[in-house]
């Protein structure tokens, strides 16, 4: 089937056409300007491709409640031009094809499920650590939505006593995103994450905050694996530090062979950075199956 995929991000829109097996035949990117300028460019691309369904993985918060009048909209984003943007209805009305819609992180979770590190699993968490921190969650083989959708980047963490940073989140004095996102790292240390050397103490703190959050996710969700992506995770030294911290915090309480070696439990994505767009193909495929 010819499927369109739109990975809608805060800085760029990645568009692709492909099939449900993850084979991409065309791809284009547009900067995220305003809905008025950006959406027609995307639409033109999809019209050229002759797609039969579309999947959108979108920055948020988004309204995923199918019975809601604002279903398929971006809601209270700080990007003011995009507030209340009816992104799903826009494409649905213009293309008259089924449109699947979910958070960007749920799309990445889906990409990893079909093509990456979550193949064959039923319970998994995909965490992105970048400009923001968010999680896509698979529970019992289904993506978690709930009342709104998980906002797992905003879980509280315990600030290290020696950390003077007041946090980057305007809502929470010590949530994970506020203390451990890319902008928080840059703010605290005066240079971007990528410019901090691997032996910088920043990484110990980062692993502590991420380790605290991951431990909470493990106790709450009982995942079979956790996948950590996003720009900040492009630091190979981070993975062993995080695994060590999670091991300490679990304290040996949970007994399962999967938890004995955290090298296979806390892992990087396995789609070479393409988990988001591949997941969007699956969202489109799913919408077609349902419709």
Applying CB under 8 A, the span of 30-38, 93-101, 199-207, 215-223 interacting with its own copies comes to: 215-223
By CB under 8 A, name the one of 156, 202, 204, 270 that touches its own copies: 156
By CB under 8 A, name the one of 25, 34, 83, 142 that touches its own copies: 142
- Return the residue matching tokens 């992105």: 128
For its own copies, the closer of residues 42 and 208 by Cβ is 208
> What is the Cα–Cα distance from 50 to 116, expressed in whole angstroms?
27
Q: Is 261 in the site for its own copies (CB under 8 A)?
A: no
Closest approach of its own copies to the CB of residue 12, in Å = 25
By CB under 8 A, name the one of 28, 86, 154, 160 that touches its own copies: 154
Closest approach of its own copies to the CB of residue 21, in Å = 26
Q: Is 66 in the site for its own copies (CB under 8 A)?
A: no
By CB under 8 A, name the one of 13, 53, 144, 232 that touches its own copies: 144
Closest approach of its own copies to the CB of residue 196, in Å = 26
For its own copies, the closer of residues 190 and 251 by Cβ is 251
By CB under 8 A, name the one of 37, 47, 83, 222 that touches its own copies: 222
For its own copies, the closer of residues 40 and 146 by Cβ is 146
Q: Is 163 in the site for its own copies (CB under 8 A)?
A: no
> What is the Cα–Cα distance from 285 to 165, expressed in whole angstroms?
44
**170-209 positions binding its own copies, by CB under 8 A:** 171-172
DSSP state letters, the chain: --EEEEEE-SSEEEEEEE-TTS-EEEEEEEE---HHHHHHHHHHHHHHHT-SEEEEEE-SSB---TTSTTTT-B-S-S-GGGTT--HHHHHHHHH-S-EEEEEHHHHHHHHHHHHSTTTT-SSEEEEEESSSEEEEEEETTEE--SSS---GGG-B-PPPTT-----S-SS-TTBHHHHHSHHHHHHHHSS-GGGS-TTSTHHHHHHHHHHHHHHHHHHHH--SEEEEESGGG--TTHHHHHHHHHHHHHTT-S--GGGT-GGGTEE--SSTT-HHHHHHHHHHHHHHHH-
Q: Is 264 in the site for its own copies (CB under 8 A)?
A: no
By CB under 8 A, name the one of 48, 93, 258, 260 that touches its own copies: 258
The residue ranges that bind its own copies (CB under 8 A) are: 61, 75-76, 122-123, 135, 137, 139-140, 142-156, 158, 171-172, 212, 215-217, 219-224, 249, 251-256, 258-259
């Amino acid at each position: 089937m010819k499927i369109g995929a739109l990975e809608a991000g805060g800085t760029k829109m990645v568009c692709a056409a492909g099939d449900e097996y993850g084979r991409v035949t065309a791809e284009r990117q547009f900067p995220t300007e305003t809905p008025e300028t950006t959406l027609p460019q995307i639409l033109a691309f999809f019209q050229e491709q002759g797609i039969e369904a579309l999947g959108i993985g979108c920055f948020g918060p988004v309204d995923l409640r199918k019975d809601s009048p604002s279903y398929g909209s971006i809601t209270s984003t700080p990007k003011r031009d995009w507030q209340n943007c009816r992104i799903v209805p826009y494409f649905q009305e213009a293309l008259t094809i089924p449109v699947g819609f979910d958070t960007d992180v749920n799309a990445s979770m889906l990409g990893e499920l079909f093509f990456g590190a979550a193949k064959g699993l039923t319970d998994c968490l995909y965490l992105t650590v970048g400009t923001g921190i968010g999680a896509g969650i698979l529970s019992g083989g289904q993506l978690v939505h709930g009342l709104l959708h998980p906002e797992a980047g905003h879980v509280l963490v315990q600030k290290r006593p020696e950390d003077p940073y007041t946090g980057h989140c305007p809502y929470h004095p010590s949530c994970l995103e506020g203390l451990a996102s890319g902008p928080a790292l840059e703010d605290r240390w005066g240079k971007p994450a990528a410019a901090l050397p691997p032996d910088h103490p920043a990484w110990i703190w980062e692993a502590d905050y991420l380790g605290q959050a991951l431990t909470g996710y493990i106790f709450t969700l009982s995942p079979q694996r956790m996948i950590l992506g996003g720009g900040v995770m492009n630091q190979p030294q981070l993975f062993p530090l995080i695994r060590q911290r999670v091991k300490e915090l679990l304290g040996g309480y949970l007994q399962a062979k999967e938890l004995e070696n955290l090298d296979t439990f806390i892992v990087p994505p396995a789609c070479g950075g393409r988990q988001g767009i591949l997941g969007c193909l699956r969202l489109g495929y799913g919408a077609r199956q349902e419709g």
